[in-house]
Structure 1
């Protein structure tokens, strides 16, 4: 039987390791408008502390440079510097946060250039551009391809997203409820935020495996919100409990999917969805809570205790 034990040991040694689920965190709309729970400067400080507590070595903060000039956004430049000092990186989320589908490609690229003028050369800068609203031109393929070519000419890579759960909607609903004097169940708010993002990560990873035959390094879309500052530590713990490794944004954007340019009838949304659509996988190719008709009633029932 000794030969059998040796054979089994050899088989174990050569068997492929189970695929590791990997994900990086990214935050859009920096600096974001005030939320319902704290001032923007306090939010930035709490978010830095929460990421450190969660042992997230490097997240990506996509800066909407025009927001730096808006009243009520706090000391946005100082907060961006604070993120970088903590080991995180910054990238371009446009100057004015407009939809590509609603403007000319040349004007859109000029807006990107205006943001680059502030960003390029700063500590922590990465040459990534994330489309506001994940809108890459909608059904206008000529415009889509013009901007793709414009980004390449500028040395900018697409700061794509592979997993998301419309956290901006949870934040908006929570802030509005607080402003209206409603009682929020904060534990339920935390659980909804965490659960939605973990489920989204699992959904999009399964979709990616069906599409690509492997689990890529994912990039999760979050926003610089009060609820992110409050609950990102809980989110990271829950992701790790489900077998996810939190990787750096640099590592995630080095995945080979960065080279893919899917051709779909409508260009908007996650890269995961676009790749699945291009391959012919049937809808739905998006996590269900990105449908606000599902997400909003769920929030009202669980966080506000309102009847259907």
Structure 2
């Protein structure tokens, strides 16, 4: 038989070996990192692009989102564009988005720049859009600032708009991640008008890669400045590029570990209550929060630099010049 001292020694050894393991097993498991993002499209109904009529574009965006099994997206609407010119069938296009399970919200009536008008005139433009939007199927009481201009350096105007939105029961349809897809679309339209050959595979690669990288950049910056991973809101525009590549983008986001969620889910995140007081109110909420936390510039994804983006487009899509 083992002596009592030997048994004590063996017991002590077992405790030293297994007690730390037992403690680790009993500790609560930390939640897995969650990368969640919603899709938002500005400027609906948008004018003709490089490849499709507005009606063809809408049909393709709806079909690609459905094929990719993407959840509800939000389309921020400019009602003044409806009913004439390229927007002749705009009302039917917006109704088609809603019928497909998506929602619509306010992007102002005529897409003005806040820095170029009084707060009163700007709020009147918002009200004009609300007249068209309110009560329609799929309507959400969200307002997104055109150009993401929330007052720039004019804090009096910024605060007037914050108060005006609150008085109207509208919340800020903020953005947290973006890659200036409007610029990529503009470059594509210019190239098409000039009759230049466009490498569509390379164009799709830029569209998809830049947006996934922008989402990851925003995720890392948010963790740094607020200590958690909020639901991100990706800024896109209702463009021909979206019609061509939105399904690829959704699949690529999932491949990079993102869960694509509804716009309703994104705007339920408490981050929406934050209103950073920064020297200039224009850009993404991510950038503003980073600025308020003292993060030095740049506080935005690299291809928001339009000069850099243009050089890459020329090199990769038009096969002109250098690039990275």
Q: What corresponds to 1:168 in structure 2?
A: 182
Q: What is the alpha-carbon distance in structure 1 between the residues aligned to residue 279 and residue 24 of structure 2?
A: 50
Q: What is the alpha-carbon distance in structure 1 between the residues aligned to residue 114 and residue 54 of structure 2?
A: 28
Deviation track 1:236-267 (CA, whole Å, cap 9, x = no partner) reads 11111110000100000010111011111111
**Contact residue 38 and residue 261 of structure 2 kept, 8 A:** yes
**Contact residue 196 and residue 318 of structure 2 kept, 8 A:** yes
RMSD of aligned C-alpha atoms? Answer: 1.2
Q: What is the alpha-carbon distance in structure 1 between the residues aligned to residue 157 and residue 241 of structure 2?
A: 35
Please state if 1:236 is matched with 2:250: yes
The alpha-carbon deviation at position 179 of structure 1 amounts to 1.7
Q: What corresponds to 1:48 in structure 2?
A: 62
1:205 pairs, out of 219, 222, 244, with 219
Q: What is the alpha-carbon distance in structure 2 between the residues aligned to residue 307 and residue 260 of structure 1?
A: 43
Deviation track 1:117-161 (CA, whole Å, cap 9, x = no partner) reads 000000000000000000001110001000110000000000000
The alpha-carbon deviation at position 70 of structure 1 amounts to 3.7
The alpha-carbon deviation at position 207 of structure 1 amounts to 0.7
Q: What corresponds to 1:72 in structure 2?
A: 86
Worse-superposed segment, 249-258 or 66-75: 66-75
Q: What is the alpha-carbon distance in structure 1 between the residues aligned to residue 44 and residue 244 of structure 2?
A: 17
Give TM-score, length-normalised by structure 2: 0.92
**Contact residue 43 and residue 225 of structure 1 kept, 8 A:** yes
Q: What corresponds to 2:8 in structure 1?
A: none
Q: What is the alpha-carbon distance in structure 2 between the residues aligned to residue 115 and residue 38 of structure 1?
A: 26
2:280 pairs, out of 251, 266, 269, with 266
Q: What is the alpha-carbon distance in structure 2 between the residues aligned to residue 292 and residue 255 of structure 1?
A: 30
Please state if 1:245 is matched with 2:259: yes
**Contact residue 83 and residue 91 of structure 2 kept, 8 A:** no
Please state if 1:304 is matched with 2:298: no
Q: What is the alpha-carbon distance in structure 2 between the residues aligned to residue 146 and residue 201 of structure 1?
A: 31
**Contact residue 28 and residue 224 of structure 1 kept, 8 A:** yes
3-state SS, counterpart of residue 72 of structure 1: helix
Q: What corresponds to 2:134 in structure 1?
A: 120
The alpha-carbon deviation at position 49 of structure 1 amounts to 0.5
3-state SS, counterpart of residue 86 of structure 2: coil
Runs of 4+, deviation exceeding 4 Å: 1-8
* Unaligned residue ranges in structure 2 (runs of 5+): 1-13
2:208 pairs, out of 194, 219, 225, with 194
Give TM-score, length-normalised by structure 1: 0.97
The alpha-carbon deviation at position 74 of structure 1 amounts to 4.2
Number of residue equivalences: 306
Q: What is the alpha-carbon distance in structure 1 between the residues aligned to residue 270 and residue 117 of structure 2?
A: 31
Worse-superposed segment, 175-184 or 293-302: 175-184
1:105 pairs, out of 96, 119, 123, with 119
Q: What is the alpha-carbon distance in structure 2 between the residues aligned to residue 74 and residue 242 of structure 1?
A: 39
Please state if 1:87 is matched with 2:101: yes
Deviation track 1:91-120 (CA, whole Å, cap 9, x = no partner) reads 000001011111000000000000000000
Structure whose CA Rg is larger = 2
Q: What is the alpha-carbon distance in structure 1 between the residues aligned to residue 121 and residue 223 of structure 2?
A: 37
**Contact residue 39 and residue 74 of structure 1 kept, 8 A:** no
